């Protein structure tokens, strides 16, 4: 599903954001990427989405060899991904329904597919009744649920969330995480970059910890802090 082989990323200004990264994430997994700001988690996600290219190494996502892919094929890769951001990135002049439908129009879906899929996605995130509202009329949590609906409406096999709860209060955050878990239950692979200790600890999923561009821990059913006190690095 997602595979990094010896990936190194150096930005033009000389900063090495990732170094010697080897990861393998299988279909259907739920993975937390944790680490402090500037640790390299965002770079990792950007490399998966091909927003950035690795300086060295090889990346394969959903069968696409991302590291050596031609620009023309990038849309195909992105269509196999769903993305959720910290700042929601909804279109303020479109209704909730239109925001979700937009994701399908852009990939030239059939109108009847759009009419079928959009209500299903909205129902999944519990926003059927707000379909005609505008993002400005919604709370932060609701907006992020719209973004979630938009991310899954094209049935991607991989969902990437970059600090999806960064702008939300704990209760709402938990609601979003619960939804991500539900989406994962339906077979979608989910990768979440986060700081939320309590949620990571509660969900007990695979945890990949990054510090200064290096993977310091990759643990099934992990917690936010490493329990193994003998581990050389604590996060």
Partner 1 sequence: MKIRTARYIFKEGFLNAYRNRLMSLASIAIVMASLLIFGTFFLLAANLNSNLETLKEQPEMQVFCYPEMDEAQIANVEDAIKKDARIKEYVMVTKAEAFNKVKNEIFDGKEYLLEDLDESIMPVSFIIKLVNPEDNAAVVEKFKDMTEVENVTYASQAVEVIANITYWVPLISGVLLLALLVVSMFIISNTIKLTVFARRREINIMKYIGATDWFIRWPFIVEGVIIGVIGSAMAFALMWLGYDAVEQKSSLAFAGIGLSIVKLLKFNQVASVIMIIFGVTGAVVGAFGSFISIRKYLKV
**Residue ranges binding partner 1 (CB under 8 A):** 49, 51, 71-72, 75-81, 83, 89, 91, 102-103, 105-108, 111, 150, 154
5 vs 79 by CB, closer to partner 1 = 79
Q: In the bound complex, what is the minimum distance in angstroms from residue 78's beta carbon to partner 1?
A: 4
Show the CA angle centred on residue 22, arms to residues 80 and 215, nearest 5°.
Answer: 110
The answer to whether the beta carbons of residues 52 and 46 sit under 8 Å apart is yes
Q: In the bound complex, what is the minimum distance in angstroms from residue 108's beta carbon to partner 1?
A: 5
150 vs 217 by CB, closer to partner 1 = 150
Show the CA angle centred on residue 104, arms to residues 99 and 108, nearest 5°.
Answer: 135
Q: In the bound complex, what is the minimum distance in angstroms from residue 126's beta carbon to partner 1?
A: 22
147 vs 199 by CB, closer to partner 1 = 147
19 vs 154 by CB, closer to partner 1 = 154
Give all strands of the β-sheet with 81-84 in edge-to-edge order: 81-84, 158-162, 189-194, 30-34, 206-211, 214-219
45 vs 200 by CB, closer to partner 1 = 45
114 vs 216 by CB, closer to partner 1 = 114
The answer to whether the beta carbons of residues 117 and 105 sit under 8 Å apart is no
Q: In the bound complex, what is the minimum distance in angstroms from residue 162's beta carbon to partner 1?
A: 11
Q: In the bound complex, what is the minimum distance in angstroms from residue 43's beta carbon to partner 1?
A: 15
Q: In the bound complex, what is the minimum distance in angstroms from residue 71's beta carbon to partner 1?
A: 8
| Strands, E assignment, the chain | 2-10, 16-25, 30-34, 56-61, 64-65, 81-84, 158-162, 189-194, 206-211, 214-219
Q: State the Cα–Cα distance between residues 197 and 72, nearest whole angstrom.
A: 39
Quickly count: other Cβ atoms within 10 Å of residue 34's Cβ.
25
Q: State the Cα–Cα distance between residues 76 and 81, nearest whole angstrom.
A: 9
Q: Quick one: how many helices (H) and strands (E) in the chain?
A: 7, 10
146 vs 199 by CB, closer to partner 1 = 146
Q: In the bound complex, what is the minimum distance in angstroms from residue 196's beta carbon to partner 1?
A: 23
């Amino acid at each position: 599903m997602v595979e990094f082989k010896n990936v190194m990323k150096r930005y033009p200004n000389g900063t090495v954001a990732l170094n010697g990264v080897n990861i393998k994430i299988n279909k259907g997994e739920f993975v937390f990427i944790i680490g402090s700001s500037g640790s390299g988690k965002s770079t990792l996600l950007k490399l998966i989405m091909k927003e950035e290219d690795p300086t060295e190494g090889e990346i394969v996502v959903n069968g696409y060899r991302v590291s050596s892919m031609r620009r023309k094929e990038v849309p195909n890769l992105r269509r196999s991904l769903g993305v959720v951001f910290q700042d929601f990135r909804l279109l303020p002049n479109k209704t909730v329904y239109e925001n979700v439908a937009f994701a399908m129009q852009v990939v030239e879906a059939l109108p009847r597919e759009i009419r079928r899929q959009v209500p299903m996605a909205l129902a999944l995130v519990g926003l059927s009744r707000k379909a005609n509202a505008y993002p400005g009329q919604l709370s932060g949590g609701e907006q992020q649920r719209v973004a979630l609906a938009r991310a899954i409406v094209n049935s991607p096999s991989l969902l990437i969330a970059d600090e999806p709860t960064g702008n939300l209060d704990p209760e709402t955050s938990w609601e979003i995480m619960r939804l991500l878990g539900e989406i994962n239950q339906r077979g979608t692979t989910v990768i979440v970059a986060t700081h939320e200790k309590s949620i990571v600890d509660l969900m007990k999923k695979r945890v990949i910890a990054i510090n200064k561009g290096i993977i310091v821990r990759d643990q099934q059913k992990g917690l936010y802090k490493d329990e193994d006190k003998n581990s050389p690095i604590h996060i």
